[in-house]
Amino acid sequence: MQNAHSEVIESARKKFSKFRELTAQFGDEIAWETMLEGFPELQKQRMGPLLALPTLIEGFRQSIPIFNSIGMDMEAFDISNKGIDAALEIQKVCPYLEVCKEFGYDIPCHVICELDMEATHRAFPEMKGEILARQALGSPVCIFKYERPLKNAE
């Protein structure tokens, strides 16, 4: 578990470093788009099998051990309603809060979570995602809401 956590932190360091470098060279907008290059395809590989399940909550529940193995302490809740397949992902631990400061960022959200959300939306256009709460802004947890049209019963 510690090894997985260390890999996540090292990956985050690389991401913050690259974003800092690109922003200094080209500005935030170009840095953002550059960071997204190839990321939606990676999200399709990572998330595709989980999102192919009949409901979002089934996929999110299967991802809990992965997130927990890197120290994030995740919970997921089904909030499907009114023809919308929806889930809340709650992260009790944000491993990025400290590492972002090494690169001059007050919060990690733009470089990590918002980038992930955008890549996910580009990979799965039918899916909408929203960040409802952020530990970086004083919340006790990070809460992400995902929704898509309910799949038709076969």
| Token code pair at residue 54 | 């009949």
Give percent of the chain above pLDDT 70: 96
Q: How confident is the model at residue 71 (pLDDT cuts 50, 70, 90)?
A: confident
**115-123 vs 39-51: helix axis angle to the nearest 10?**
70
Q: How confident is the model at residue 2 (pLDDT cuts 50, 70, 90)?
A: low
Q: How confident is the model at residue 154 (pLDDT cuts 50, 70, 90)?
A: very low
Contact 132, 144 (CB under 8 A): yes
DSSP structural state of residue 91: E
| pLDDT (average), residues 46-75 | 93
Q: Could you tell me which residue, 152 or 93, shows the higher pLDDT? A: 93
pLDDT, tens digit, 9 for 90 and up, residues 80-91: 999 999 999 999
Which pLDDT belongs to residue 6? Answer: 85
Contact 93, 72 (CB under 8 A): yes
pLDDT, tens digit, 9 for 90 and up, residues 121-142: 999 999 999 999 999 999 999 9
pLDDT, tens digit, 9 for 90 and up, residues 4-58: 678 888 999 999 999 999 999 999 999 999 999 999 999 999 999 999 999 999 9
Q: Could you tell me which residue, 98 or 122, shows the higher pLDDT? A: 122
Would the pLDDT of 102 be above 50? yes
Domain residue spans in the chain? Answer: 2-149
| pLDDT (average), residues 83-104 | 94
The CATH number of the structural domain formed by 2-149 is 3.30.1380
Non-local (6+) Cβ contacts of 81 within 8 A are none
